Amino acid sequence: MLSHSLSVTSAAPSPEIVRDLIARYDAHAPRYTSYPTAAQFTAEVDGTRWGQWLSTAPVETPISLYLHIPFCKRLCWYCGCNTRAMNRVAVMSSYVDLLLAEADLVLAHVGRGVRVGSIHLGGGTPNMLPPEELERLMAGLAGRFDLSDCYDIAAELDPEVLTDDWMRAAGRIGLSRASLGVQDLSPRVQAAVNRPESFESIRHAVEGLRAQGVTSLNLDLMYGLPLQTEINVVTTLGQITDLKPDRIALFGYAHVPWMKPHQKLIRTEDLPDSGARFLQSQVATRYLQAKGWTAIGLDHFALPHDSMAAAQRAGRLRRNFQGYTTDTAPTLIGLGASAISRTPQGFSQNLVQEREWRQAVQKGQLPVARGVGLTDQDVLIGALIERLMCDFAVDVDACTRLHGFDPDSLGDVWSRLEPFAADGLIRIEGTRVTVTPLGRPFVRAVCAVFDAHTVPADRHARVI
C-alpha cells in the first residue's frame, strides 16, 4: 500500500483555529470504552448465549469481577450511571443476597473453579451499603471464588456519605484502591447539579482511607458542568492537589437528556459551550502537569509512581467500561443490575432495571438483556482504537497484520484520516498514526474513522 508522510506544525494554535477545529470535528462520538460500543448491543445475546460463553471462558488465569451497586443518597443531575436514591437497609441487604445468587448462577455455567485477580465495586455509591453488608458481600465472594491471587479491591465512593465505620470495614476487607467523587467544589456549581459536598468531607475521606491501608486514591472531577468556569476548575484543582491523590480523573460532562431524563433538570442555558469546555480541559491539563501529574490518555492523570503511569510508560495501558485501567484479565464478570461482562467471545449486559434483574435472578436465570459477539474484525478494530485512546499512536499496518488481516482490508481509512493530518490533529509517518497534542481532545473523532459501525448521534455526547 502507499506510504503516507504528512507533517504538521507544533506552534500553539490561535483561538480562531481552535474555534474552526471545534466547528468541524466536535461531532457525536463514542467514548470507546469498548468496541463494538454499547450502542451495538442487541437482544441476540441473552442468558443462554452468555451461559455458553461462560462454559468456555478462559478462567485458567485470574479473572476480574465487577459488582454494580445501584444506590445513592441523592440523585446528582449530571449522573449518567444506573442508580437511584435509596436508604432502606432491607432493600440493600436483599440486593446483596441476589448478587451472591447471581454469582452462583455464573459459576454453575462455568463449571469449574474461578480465580479472581481484581474486584471492583461500582455504582451508584457502593458505600451506601451498610458496613456489615459490605463485609457479608465480600465473605460471600470469598466463599465462592478463589481470592488467593486477588491483588486489587477497588470501590467508587461518595465522600459525603462515607462514615468512619464504613472505612474501618473497608480496611477489614482489604480495600486497596478507592475513587472519590468530587466533580467541582464551587457551591454555585454544586447547587446547579444537586451535589452539595464540602472539601473537609473529602479530606476526611482521603485521610481515613489511607489510615485503613488504601494505597491508591483517585479523585473524580468534571468540566463542562452548568455555571462552571475555568476559575472554578483551577480553584478545585488547587484544593484537591494538596491532598496528593495518586490519580485524578477529569471527565467532560456528557449532556444526554434524551437518554438520562433527570439531566433535564439542568438548565441548558447554564452549560458552557464547546469552546469554553475546551479551554476548561486545557487549563486543567496544564495545571496538573505543572504540579507533577502525568497525563494519561484522554482524561486521566497520575503521579509518576502510580501503576497507571507505569502501565502507560510500558505501553500496557488498557481501556474498559470503567475507563482507563491496568487490568489485563481476558475475562470480566459483571454482577448486578446493568453490569457489563466481557469474554473473548463478546460482551454481555445485565438487565438495566433493578426490578427486572431481581426477578430473573430469583427465577434462577442469568439476568442478561443484551450484548454483542465479537468477530475477528471487531477484535482488530478494537485493538487499533484502544491503542489510539491509550497511547495516542498506533502502527496501523503492524497491528492489522498481527491480527491476521491484510492492511488493505481497512478500506479508505487513510483518505478519511488525511483531513485530520492536514489540520494538525494527527501525524502520519509511513503507516504509523500519532495524535498530536493539538489533536488529543479530538481523539474520539479520530477513532471514529476506524469504526466499522454506524455511530448513532442520539447515543453519544459530543467529542468536546
More confident residue, 90 or 5: 90
Instruction: Let me know if 42 is exposed, middle or buried by CB neighbors in 10 A (0-12, 13-18, 19+).
Output: exposed
Average pLDDT over residues 195-205: 96
DSSP-assigned letters across all residues of 79-108: --SS-EE---HHHHHHHHHHHHHHHHHHHH
Q: Return the residue matching grid coordinates 471462558.
A: 57
Average pLDDT over residues 36-51: 96
Please, are residues 84 and 70 in contact by the beta-carbon 8 Å criterion?
Answer: yes
The pLDDT of residue 10 is above 80: no
Task: Determine the pLDDT at residue 322.
Answer: 86
Helix orientation angle between 164-173 and 199-211, rounded to the nearest 10 degrees: 30
The pLDDT of residue 8 is above 70: no
Farthest-apart Cα atoms in the chain, separation: 65
Instruction: Let me know if 159 is exposed, middle or buried by CB neighbors in 10 A (0-12, 13-18, 19+).
Output: buried
The pLDDT of residue 3 is above 70: no
Q: What is the pLDDT of residues 252-276, one digit of tens each?
A: 999 989 888 999 999 999 999 999 9
Average pLDDT over residues 431-440: 96
The H or E element spanning position 209 is: helix 199-211
Average pLDDT over residues 22-26: 92
Grid cell at residue 48? 443462554
Domains of the chain: 4-36+375-459 (1.10.10.920), 38-373 (3.80.30.20)
Q: Return the residue matching grid coordinates 499496518.
A: 397
Classify 241 as helix, strand or coil: helix
Which of 388, 390, 409 lies closest to 400 in space, CA to CA? 409
Please, are residues 193 and 186 in contact by the beta-carbon 8 Å criterion?
Answer: no
The pLDDT of residue 420 is above 90: yes
- Percent of the chain past pLDDT 90, that is, above it, reads 87
Annotated binding site: 66, 72, 76, 78-80, 123-125, 156, 183, 195, 220, 254, 340
The H or E element spanning position 324 is: strand 323-325
Please, are residues 104 and 180 in contact by the beta-carbon 8 Å criterion?
Answer: no
The pLDDT of residue 101 is above 80: yes
Q: What is the pLDDT of residues 69-90, one digit of tens each?
A: 999 998 899 998 889 999 899 9
Residue 319's contacts (CB-CB under 8 Å, 6 or more residues apart) are: 32, 33, 297, 325, 386, 389, 390
Q: Please list the residues that pair with 39 across neighbouring strands.
A: none
Task: Determine the pLDDT at residue 70.
Answer: 97
Strand 300-302 to strand 177-183: parallel, antiparallel, or no bridges (unpaired)? unpaired
**Per-residue confidence band for 12, with pLDDT thresholds at 50, 70 and 90:** low
Q: Return the residue matching grid coordinates 469546555.
A: 277
The pLDDT of residue 112 is above 60: yes
More confident residue, 18 or 265: 265
Q: CA angle, 161 as apex, 158 and 164 as ends, to 5°?
A: 110
Grid cell at residue 191? 447547587
Task: Determine the pLDDT at residue 458.
Answer: 66
Average pLDDT over residues 278-297: 96
Annotated binding site for S-adenosyl-L-methionine: 66, 78-80, 123-125, 156, 183, 195, 220, 254, 340
Residue 66's contacts (CB-CB under 8 Å, 6 or more residues apart) are: 119, 120, 122, 321, 322, 332, 333, 334, 335, 339, 340, 341
How many angstroms from the chain centroid is the CA of residue 375?
23
Grid cell at residue 347? 460482551
The pLDDT of residue 7 is above 60: no
Annotated binding site for [4Fe-4S] cluster: 72, 76, 79
Task: Determine the pLDDT at residue 1.
Answer: 33
Grid cell at residue 15? 483561538
Classify 395 as helix, strand or coil: strand
Task: Determine the pLDDT at residue 16.
Answer: 87
Task: Determine the pLDDT at residue 457.
Answer: 65
Average pLDDT, the chain: 94
CA 191 – CA 180 distance, rounded (Å): 19
